[in-house]
A and B are shown apart, each in its own frame.
Chain A
Amino acid sequence: MLDGNEAVAFALRLARVRVIATYPITPQSPIAEKLADYVADGSLPARYIRVESEHSALAAAIGAQLTGVRAATATSSVGLALMHEVLGVASGCRIPLVMPVVNRSLVSPWSLWCDHQDAMSVRDAGWLQFYAGDNQEVLDWSLMAYRVAEDPRVWLPAMVCLDGFFLSHAGAVVLVPDPEEVDAFLPPYRSRNLRLDPADPMFVNDLTPPAEFTEMRYQQQLAMENAPAVLDEAAGEFARLFGRCCHAVEGYALEDAEAVVVTMGSMSGTARYVVDEMRAGGRRVGAVQVRVFRPFPGAALRRLLAGRPAVGVVDRSAGMGAEGGPLWTEVRCALAGVPDAPVPAGFVAGLGGRDIPPATLEKVFDRLLAGEPANNVWIDVGENPLGLREVTL
């Protein structure tokens, strides 16, 4: 039994990271603690930098990785927000860092608990983004992340997102591969692009004029476009070595499904449970789990969702001021113009640690099966929301 944070720590140790720079934040702190334990007990020969902020954590990890070693950090919520400007250094300098993000909502109001707004607010930072559905996926996708990020066709940093508390602090059976098996999947790190070495001096990240900036960005875009094929190759190798599949999107009970919900993260298991329950009651429903958000697997989703009578997307973050949540926006865009694809309905649920129980997803299915159009429906909002902390003037 491992909780999600332990699965992360195991994965980073299996990846043989050499420098760790972490700053504690709920619910990520156990990762920082476990990695410190591994360094202290000698099971992970690495240097541990007890940094004074997340902003410094990522900078230190970048500096270390530029000397030619795998470096690690991990964060959550406002810690990720504090890193924002440094995220662009990692992606723009094409440094294939892997960073676990234990998803937690952003202020305000303060919340310690899960939603996806932290990672969603940096979705265009040039990082690959993977969202785990359970603790096995946390471990598997951490290893996948290294493999894909470090591929010369990609060379982009990667976030491995896991739902705060629902995964980070909940124990589950996790199959942990032997270190030698992982070594076969992840060869020793070599910095083949940018590096800081007096034997081969180069200056990294200087000011770049308009005449070159677009092209530098375009290189990143092409790397994103290369990533799906690299992911597929890596998933094939992963399946051969470890016997488990790592698909960017995965359908469940889609055959003859009249209503399909699209989910990310820990609610995906709940969705499959609800599908089983509703199918037992004779209702034709299915589910799709999205594990890769960047690059967005539009083509794979079109294959799974075209021809479905009704599709609903459940976002665990609010697209404040947008037409819908960020996942819905992407799905809507992916399906636009596809002749037999439905207009997906958009739902927001599970903010700030609110559970997404089967009943919430049943409501989503009910609305889809009833053919009710739904646009940016906050499906689990309470009664009289404006009455909460109401101020009478």
Chain B
Amino acid sequence: MSLAVKAQADGLVAHGVSTCAGCGLELAIRVVVNELGPQTVIVIPPGCAALFSGFGRETVLKIPGIQGNLGNTAAYAAGIRAGLEVQGREGITVLCFAGDGATVDIGLQSLSGALERGDRILYVCYDNEAYMNTGIQGSASTPAGAWTTTTPAGKSAGRKDMIRIAAAHGIPYVAAASVGYVPDLRRKIRAARDAAGPAYVHIHAPCPVGWRFDPSRTVDVARLAVQTRAWVLCEVVDGAAKLNMPVRKPRPVAEYLRWQGRFREMGEAETAAFGEAVEKAYRGLLTALGITD
């Protein structure tokens, strides 16, 4: 069968992908894949990123890949790495590109296994803080108070801190990044690629559809998350942690929340509670990673 190339892409990710307008994940995957280059094999679970796997006879990526199951992305990657290793094939990055549901919920066991074994994989979680592809259902990464279709009155529990969880495995590289700060993201992807073992990069990727904000504001929302400390840019390199963008004077969380319809039902008390939770998580992260503010 001959393949028809409909439009030649700049880089390794084609144009015209059917992601929603303002998709944070689209920005993330373009940056990640292009930074890594053609010597990359990608594993994508079902989810929003599977739009890049393709549909039928069409694909979006110029690198080889497999769409696995929702809960075993890291295991496919571990097998691919082992297969390449026994054939003496070096210089290839084995990349996992999974959403928060596939990472912090159903895929956590598989990811933890690969990190514990020291498999040389680069695991990227794009975090849009809910199951967006199935219709905005809450995940373990959905923040407290947020509306989703399965938390209609606002989520009561807070979110798992994947940075601490990943770092607790003692792997050589862990980083938190954001689509709001692309140069920082690029640098972290390069560092993760060159790590001498498993690397984990968690990218905050706002979703205009699920978070209910204007799709032209994705980068603004991502930056506000960082500037309010609702998302913390940091990295742990061989156990040594640091903040990449210290936020000495955080902006009030209300500035972050008011952009987003998913927090619309929150009153003053809930907003204050959100701010306290953000501060508590921030302090907890710094303490756990041994960072002095």
Binding site for B on A (CB under 8 A): 18-19, 21, 45-47, 49-53, 55-57, 59-69, 71, 85-86, 89, 93, 195-198, 200-209, 211-212
Shortest A71–chain B CB gap in Å is: 7
B63 within 8 A of A: yes
Q: A52-B110, A60-B78 are in contact. Are A204 and B83 (CB under 8 A)?
A: no
A-B pairs with beta carbons under 8 Å apart, 20 shown: A18-B86, A21-B82, A45-B86, A49-B117, A52-B109, A56-B72, A57-B75, A59-B68, A60-B76, A65-B79, A66-B66, A89-B68, A196-B64, A196-B65, A198-B39, A200-B64, A201-B64, A204-B64, A205-B53, A206-B54
Task: Summarize B's interface: helix, strand, loop or mixed.
Answer: mixed
Contact in complex: A203, B66 (CB < 8 Å): yes
Contact in complex: A64, B75 (CB < 8 Å): no
For B83, the chain A residues whose CB sits under 8 A away are: 18-19, 47, 63-69, 71
B137 within 8 A of A: no
Contact in complex: B75, A56 (CB < 8 Å): yes
Contact in complex: B79, A201 (CB < 8 Å): no
CA distance A71 to B86 in the complex (A): 11
For A49, the chain B residues whose CB sits under 8 A away are: 78-79, 82, 117, 119
B56 within 8 A of A: yes
B22 within 8 A of A: no
Contact in complex: B75, A67 (CB < 8 Å): no
Contact in complex: B87, A69 (CB < 8 Å): yes
Contact of B56 among A52, A86, A206 (CB under 8 A): A206
What band does the interface of chain B fall in when counting residues whose beta carbon is under 8 Å from A?
Answer: 35 or more
Contact in complex: A52, B113 (CB < 8 Å): yes
For A198, the chain B residues whose CB sits under 8 A away are: 38-41, 63-64, 92
B77 within 8 A of A: yes
Contact in complex: B113, A85 (CB < 8 Å): no
Contact in complex: A205, B67 (CB < 8 Å): yes
Q: A53-B110, A53-B113 are in contact. Are A63 and B38 (CB under 8 A)?
A: no
Contact in complex: A71, B79 (CB < 8 Å): yes
B43 within 8 A of A: yes
Which A-B residue pairs are the 7 nearest by beta carbons?
A: A63-B79, A67-B83, A52-B113, A60-B79, A56-B75, A64-B83, A59-B75
For A47, the chain B residues whose CB sits under 8 A away are: 82-83, 85-86
Most buried by A among B62, B86, B116: B86
Q: Give the nearest-CB partner of B12 in chain A.
A: A201
B59 within 8 A of A: yes
Q: A50-B117, A63-B77 are in contact. Are A207 and B66 (CB under 8 A)?
A: no
CA distance A212 to B56 in the complex (A): 7
CA distance A121 to B71 in the complex (A): 21
B50 within 8 A of A: yes
Q: A201-B63, A211-B56 are in contact. List 20 more A-B contacts (CB 8 A).
A: A21-B78, A21-B79, A47-B86, A55-B69, A56-B75, A60-B82, A62-B76, A67-B89, A69-B87, A86-B69, A196-B41, A196-B65, A196-B66, A198-B92, A201-B38, A203-B66, A204-B66, A206-B67, A209-B55, A209-B56
CA distance A50 to B79 in the complex (A): 11
B260 within 8 A of A: no
Q: Give the nearest-CB partner of B113 in chain A.
A: A52
For B63, the chain A residues whose CB sits under 8 A away are: 198, 201
Shortest B134–chain A CB gap in Å is: 13
Interface positions of B from 80 to 101, Cβ below 8 Å from A: 80, 82-87, 89, 92
Q: A52-B109, A64-B82, A66-B80 are in contact. Are A203 and B54 (CB under 8 A)?
A: yes
For B65, the chain A residues whose CB sits under 8 A away are: 196, 201, 203-204
B112 within 8 A of A: yes
CA distance A257 to B253 in the complex (A): 85
For B55, the chain A residues whose CB sits under 8 A away are: 206-209
Contact indicator per residue, chain B 45-56, by CB within 8 Å of chain A (1) or not (0): 010001001111
B61 within 8 A of A: yes
CA distance A45 to B218 in the complex (A): 50
Most buried by B among A21, A59, A204: A59
Q: Give the nearest-CB partner of A200 in chain B.
A: B64
Contact of B86 among A69, A93, A196, A206 (CB under 8 A): A69
Q: Give the nearest-CB partner of B117 in chain A.
A: A50
Q: A71-B83, A86-B69, A201-B64 are in contact. Are A206 and B50 (CB under 8 A)?
A: yes
CA distance A67 to B88 in the complex (A): 12
Q: A89-B68, A198-B41, A206-B56 are in contact. Are A67 and B84 (CB under 8 A)?
A: yes
CA distance A208 to B46 in the complex (A): 12
CA distance A45 to B88 in the complex (A): 12
For A64, the chain B residues whose CB sits under 8 A away are: 79-80, 82-83
Q: Give the nearest-CB partner of B46 in chain A.
A: A207
Q: A67-B80, A198-B63, A206-B67 are in contact. Are A60 and B53 (CB under 8 A)?
A: no
Contact in complex: A19, B79 (CB < 8 Å): yes
Most buried by B among A50, A63, A196, A209: A63
Contact in complex: A60, B86 (CB < 8 Å): no
Q: Give the nearest-CB partner of B65 in chain A.
A: A203
Contact in complex: A53, B50 (CB < 8 Å): no
For A71, the chain B residues whose CB sits under 8 A away are: 79, 83
Contact in complex: B59, A203 (CB < 8 Å): yes
Contact in complex: A197, B109 (CB < 8 Å): no
Shortest A49–chain B CB gap in Å is: 6
Q: A21-B79, A47-B85 are in contact. Are A56 and B110 (CB under 8 A)?
A: yes
Contact in complex: A207, B54 (CB < 8 Å): yes
For A196, the chain B residues whose CB sits under 8 A away are: 41, 64-66, 80
CA distance A211 to B79 in the complex (A): 32
For B86, the chain A residues whose CB sits under 8 A away are: 18-19, 45-47, 69
CA distance A188 to B30 in the complex (A): 38
For A60, the chain B residues whose CB sits under 8 A away are: 75-76, 78-79, 82
Most buried by B among A53, A61, A196, A207: A196
Q: Give the nearest-CB partner of A93 in chain B.
A: B66
Contact in complex: B66, A68 (CB < 8 Å): no
Contact in complex: A55, B110 (CB < 8 Å): yes
CA distance A61 to B77 in the complex (A): 10
